[in-house]
Structure 1
C-alpha cells in the first residue's frame, strides 16, 4: 500500500509539474527572445535616425559616427549602407557586413521587413534609414546572442530547480502520508493474523493513523475481546463436561465390576452388557471432546514432512492391523514437499483415518496409504477394500453423527475434516476401484524458502474415535 500511494502521488505531482512548469518556462523564454529583439531593433533605429540625417539631409556624419562608436562600446557591430547598398560607415567589428547583411539591406531597401537571421552567435537586425517605402539607406546591427542564451538557461535552470524541489517535497509528503495510512493497517493486519493463529490476547494499536483506521482498530479490539471471552467460556464448558461425565462413568463402571464379582452367571452377563454400554458411552464422550477441541483449533502452521509422518503412523498401526488380519501398506509417489499444518495435526488425521479403515476392512483385506505432490498441494490417499459407503452416507460422512452406517462413534471423519479445513486443505471421499472407500486429502505446501523446515512436531499419539 505504501508504494502504491507513493507512486500515485508522485505520478500526479510529475504531471502537474510538467503541465505547469514547462509551459511557464516556454512562455518566459519566448518573452525574453521578444524583449531582446525589441531592444536590438530599438538600438538599430537610433543609428538609423542618425544615418538618415547624413544620407537624406546631407548633414555632418558626426552624429552617425558617435552612435556607431556607442554601439561598438557596448559590444554591438553596426554598418550603414546607402540606397545603392554601398557601405557608408561601420564599427571596427565586421559582423554586420557580408552576404547575409547584404541580403537584409536588399530586403529593407525593397520596403520589406526581413526575418533577422543569426550569424556566428550574433543576431542580425536591419532597419531603414528614412521612410520605409523609399529609404535613403539601411542600418544593420549585429548583437551577441550570449546574454539571451544566458537568460534562457537561467529560466530553464530555475524551472528545473523548482520542479526538482516540488518533486522532492512530494516524495517526502507522499512517503509520510503513505506510512501514516498504511502502518496502522499493517499493524492491524498482523494483529488479526496472530488472533487467527490462536493468540486470543492480541490487541491492535488504536493510537495512530487516520480516524477511520483508529475506529477500525477499536472495533477489532472489541471483537477480539468478545472472541476471547467466548472461546475461554467454551473451553471451560468442555473441561467441566469432561470432568462431570468421566467421573460418574468411572464410578459406575467400578460399581458394576464389584457387583459382577459376587453375582451369579445370569446377573454377571447382564452386568457385562451394562459395562459394554458404559464403555461405548465413554468412547462417545471422548469423541465429542476430541471434536470440540478440533473445532476450536486455531493452528499455527509448521513445516511437516509427510513421508516421515506416514511411515511413523504406519509402523504404529501395523501391530493392530496384523492382530485383525488386515494388511497395512504405504506407497510413495515420489518425494513429497513439506506441508503447512498445525503441530500434531497430521498424526491425528492419519490415526483417525487408519483406525476407521482397519475397523471397516474384514480379515484378509488391505489398507493403503499413499502420498505424492499434486500441483500446488500434497495429496494423501487412504484406501481400503472394505464394504465402502453409499452416496448418501458419503454426503454426510464429515458431519458429527452424520453417518448412520458408522461402526464406531461416527466422529472420526468429522475430526479429520475439521483439522484439514482449519489448515487450509480439502478432504473428500471417493470409491476405491474394485470396491471400498478412498479418503483423499489435499494439504497446502510449506513455502519453498526454507522457513520453518525441521520445526518440531508433537509426539505421535495413537488415538481412535
Structure 2
C-alpha cells in the first residue's frame, strides 16, 4: 500500500509539472525568439536611419561607418545597398552579401517593408532606406542564432532543474505521506493477524496516522477487547459446566452401582438400563463440551507433519478396529517429497482431534470385515486428508446436515463428532466435505492449509546433530 500511495502522489506531481513546465517552456522559447528577432530588426532600422542621412541628405558617411564598426564589434555583419543593389558600405565580414541578401534587398526596396530570413544558424533582416514611398536602398543585417540558442538552452536548463527539484520534492512528500498513512495501517494489520492467531490481548496503537486511521485502530481495539471478554467468558462457562455436570453424573452412577448390589434381578436390570442412559448422557455432555471448546478456541497455527500424526492415530485405533474386525490402513510415506514430508498449518492438537473423530466414526460405520482407509496427499497450496469407509453411508440430506450439532439422528454416538471436525478445520482456514464412497460408504475430504513457505522451509530443515538420509 505504501508503494501505491507514493507512486500515485508522484504520478500526480509529475502530471502537474508536465502540464505547467512544458507550456511554460514553449512560451519562453517563443518569447526569446520574438525578442531576438525584434532586437535584430531594431538594429537594422538604426543602421537604415543612419544610412538615410548619407543617401538622401548627402551628409557624411562617417556616422554610418562608425555604426557599422560597432555592429561588427557586437558580432553582427551588415551591408548597405543602394536602390540598384550596389554595395555602398559593409563590415569586413561578408555574410550579409549573397543571393539571399540580394533577394531581401529587392523585396525591401520593392514594397518598402522590412523582410526577415532565418536559416542556416543565421537571421538576416533587410530594412528599406528612405521614405516609405521611394526607398533609396536597403540595410541588411546578419546575426548568428547561437546567442538565441544559448539563451533558450539556459531557460530549458532552469526549467528542467525546477522539474527535477519538483519531482524530488514530490517523491519525498509522497514517501512521507505513504509512511504516515501506511505505517499505522500496517500496525492494525499486524494486530489483526496476531488476534487471529490467538493473541487475544493484542491491541493496535492509536497515536499516529490520520484521524480516520486512528479511529479504525480505536474501533479495532474495542472489537478485540470485546472478543477477548467473550472468549474468556465462554471458556469460563465451559469450565463451570464441565464441573457442574460431571460431578452429579459421577455421583449418580456411583449411587446406582450401590443400589444394584442390593437389588433383586428385576430391579438390577432396570438399574443397568439407567446406568447405560447415564453413560450415554455422560458421552453427550463430553461431546457438547468438546464442541464448545472447539468453537471457543482461537487456533495458533504451527506446522504439523501430517503423515506422522496419521500413522500415530492409526496405530492407536488399530486395536479397536481389530476388535470389530475392521481393517484400518494408512498410506505409506512416498519419500522425502511425498506424504511423509507433508506439512499442514493447524493449531496444536487440532489434527489429532480431527483424526480421532473421523476414525472413530468410520470404524463404527464400517461393516464387519470392512475397511477404513486414511490417506494424505498434496493438493496445490493445501494438504488433502481423506478418510474412507465402506459402511452404509449417508443420504444426501444427512450429508448436508452432518456438520451441524446432532445433524445425523441415526448416529451411533452423540452425533457431535463431525461438528467438532468441521469447527476445528474451518477455524484453521480449511474446508471439509462429505461424499459417497464408490461401492457404498462415506468419504470425508478435508482441505488443510499448508504453512507459509518460509515456515515450511524451517520446519523441514534437519535438526542440529541429525543427518537425513535418502532411500
- TM-score normalised to the size of structure 1? 0.92
Match of 1:362 among 367, 370, 392: 367
Name the structure 2 match of 1:424.
Answer: 429
Match of 2:449 among 439, 444, 447: 444
Name the structure 2 match of 1:116.
Answer: 117
Name the structure 2 match of 1:149.
Answer: 149
Structure 1 segments unaligned to the other structure (5+ residues): 457-465
Superimposed CA distance per residue, residues 23-53 of structure 1 (whole angstroms, 9 cap, x where no aligned partner): 1121112111111111111111111112122
Superimposed CA distance per residue, residues 33-86 of structure 1 (whole angstroms, 9 cap, x where no aligned partner): 111111111111111112122223332211211211221222221111112212
Shift of 1:242: 1.0
Distance 2:84 2:196 in 1: 100
Distance 1:4 1:39 in 2: 51
Name the structure 1 match of 2:301.
Answer: 301
Query: 2:347 matched to 1:342?
Result: yes
> Do the aligned residues in 1 keep the contact of 2:79 with 2:91 (CA within 8 Å)?
yes
Structure 1 residues 173 and 257, CA gap change in structure 2 (3 angstroms): same
Structure 1 residues 363 and 451, CA gap change in structure 2 (3 angstroms): closer
Name the structure 2 match of 1:395.
Answer: 400
SS in 2 for 1:150: helix
When the two chains are superposed, the root-mean-square deviation of aligned CA atoms in Å is 2.2
> Do the aligned residues in 2 keep the contact of 1:352 with 1:416 (CA within 8 Å)?
yes
Shift of 1:117: 2.1
Name the structure 1 match of 2:168.
Answer: 168
SS in 2 for 1:116: strand
Distance 2:132 2:168 in 1: 55
> Do the aligned residues in 2 keep the contact of 1:302 with 1:455 (CA within 8 Å)?
no
Identify the range of structure 1 (220-229 vs 408-417) with the bigger mean alpha-carbon deviation: 220-229
Superimposed CA distance per residue, residues 344-380 of structure 1 (whole angstroms, 9 cap, x where no aligned partner): 2122111100001111123211111223233443322
Superimposed CA distance per residue, residues 71-130 of structure 1 (whole angstroms, 9 cap, x where no aligned partner): 1222221111112212111112222223332232232223264332234x4322211111
Name the structure 2 match of 1:19.
Answer: 19
Structure 1 residues 108 and 157, CA gap change in structure 2 (3 angstroms): same
Structure 1 residues 246 and 385, CA gap change in structure 2 (3 angstroms): same
SS in 1 for 2:294: helix
> Do the aligned residues in 1 keep the contact of 2:114 with 2:125 (CA within 8 Å)?
no
> Do the aligned residues in 1 keep the contact of 2:126 with 2:141 (CA within 8 Å)?
yes
Distance 1:392 1:48 in 2: 110
> Do the aligned residues in 1 keep the contact of 2:124 with 2:140 (CA within 8 Å)?
yes
Distance 2:80 2:395 in 1: 117
SS in 1 for 2:432: strand
Superimposed CA distance per residue, residues 193-236 of structure 1 (whole angstroms, 9 cap, x where no aligned partner): 21122111111111111112212221221221122111111111
Query: 2:58 matched to 1:63?
Result: no
Name the structure 1 match of 2:468.
Answer: none
> Do the aligned residues in 1 keep the contact of 2:116 with 2:126 (CA within 8 Å)?
no
> Do the aligned residues in 1 keep the contact of 2:127 with 2:140 (CA within 8 Å)?
yes
SS in 1 for 2:459: coil
Distance 2:460 2:409 in 1: 40
Shift of 1:452: 6.4
Shift of 1:267: 4.3
Name the structure 1 match of 2:73.
Answer: 73
Match of 2:413 among 408, 411, 419: 408
Aligned residue pair count: 455
